[in-house]
Amino acid sequence: MSITPAIPVLRAGKRTRLHAAQGELVLHRSGLEHHIPLAAVARVHAERRAVEVTLTAPAGTVPTVYRVDGVSEIAAGVFARAVSDLLDPTAGGSEVPDGSALVTTRTAEREAITSREAFGRKVKRLVWGAVLAIVAMSVLVSFVTHPVIMLFAWILGGTGFGFAICVVLLAPSVLERWRLPRHGITVTAYSAAIADRPGLYLYGDQDGNTRTYVDTSGRLSIEVSYDPSDPGTVVRADGKGRAWPTAVLLFTALIALLLLAGFCATPFMTP
């Protein structure tokens, strides 16, 4: 029996998920991963925003029930009907197996964090840190000087931390333009010769994978340097194009430094 992609994935918060896989149901909960074969399932029942998976059990014994609450009511109904259609209607008879004995449980593997998710988390941490610093400075200013000075703390802190966050976020990509030509792996990238993508170049990493790089030089081939730990991170090996981003980064850092210096000086200001 095969599981069709039409069966929805049921999510109840960030750490609980129930979905159908090939010939089984998989329940992720509390860091554990329960694999429930369809042969061990006696009944799947949806009740509003909850789904119950009842396992088979010999006569006279209480069956094991897995219940997931807080899911989408519509998705719960679709899930229950779709999985019920996959169950073997002829299963059972005089000898009903203990479904709980067929269930395997193991520690759930953490889902890989994408670069976009990692970037979003980094931004959130930086923003919250800036907000807390501004709030703390406002409280300090209100005690040691006139409350009107808090306005300067908000303006200087908001703009200063804003520029500082930009520096922190942009610095890695700028520094890679200087680091990788010296400490990365340098290879030759060749033009892909695709009419609608004239700036596309192809290069091979140390594992034999073909990767892409975009450049507007128009040359048939260029030398690029990539990070051995992350071959998708690649820059021009000759360093071309890194001067302007570096100048912008340094100028932004200087502005952030001056504004934050003023921010730190607000407790000493007088109205």
Average pLDDT score over residue span 52-69: 87
The per-residue pLDDT for 170 is 94
Over 50: is that where the pLDDT of 1 sits? no
The per-residue pLDDT for 249 is 96
The per-residue pLDDT for 90 is 60
The residue among 1, 31, 35 whose CA lies nearest residue 19 is 35
Distances (CA, A) of 84 to 2, 35, 47, 221, 254: 13, 17, 14, 58, 64
Enclosing H/E stretch for 24: strand 24-29
Confidence label for 226 from pLDDT (cuts 50, 70 and 90): very high
Question: What's the rounded Cα separation, in Å, for the pair 171 and 182?
Answer: 17
Q: Can you give the residue ranges of every domain in the chain?
A: 10-107, 115-268
Question: What's the rounded Cα separation, in Å, for the pair 12 and 9?
Answer: 10
The per-residue pLDDT for 3 is 45
The per-residue pLDDT for 92 is 52
The per-residue pLDDT for 163 is 97
Average pLDDT score over residue span 163-177: 95
> Within a 10 A sphere around the Cβ of 230, how many other Cβ atoms?
12
Give the up-direction half-sphere exposure of residue 49: CA atoms within 13 A in the CB hemisphere.
7
Who has greater pLDDT, 258 or 85?
258
The per-residue pLDDT for 100 is 83
Return the SS3 of 269. Answer: coil
Counting every residue written for the chain, the total comes to 271
Question: Which amino acid is residue 124, in one-letter code?
Answer: K
Confidence label for 182 from pLDDT (cuts 50, 70 and 90): very high
Would you tell me which CATH number, out of the four given (3.40.50.970, 2.30.29.30, 1.10.645.10, 2.60.40.10), belongs to the domain 10-107? 2.30.29.30
Over 80: is that where the pLDDT of 88 sits? no
Average pLDDT score over residue span 231-259: 94
The residue among 51, 49, 19 whose CA lies nearest residue 36 is 19
The per-residue pLDDT for 48 is 87
Q: What is the DSSP string of 83-130?
A: HHHHS-TT--SS----HHHH-EEEEPPPPPPPHHHHHHHHHHHHHHHH
Average pLDDT score over residue span 10-16: 83
pTM over 0.75: no
The per-residue pLDDT for 152 is 92
Q: What is the DSSP string of 48-89?
A: TTEEEEEEP--TTSPPPEEEEES--HHHHHHHHHHHHHHS-T
Contact yes or no for 46/76 (Cβ under 8 A): yes
Confidence label for 193 from pLDDT (cuts 50, 70 and 90): confident
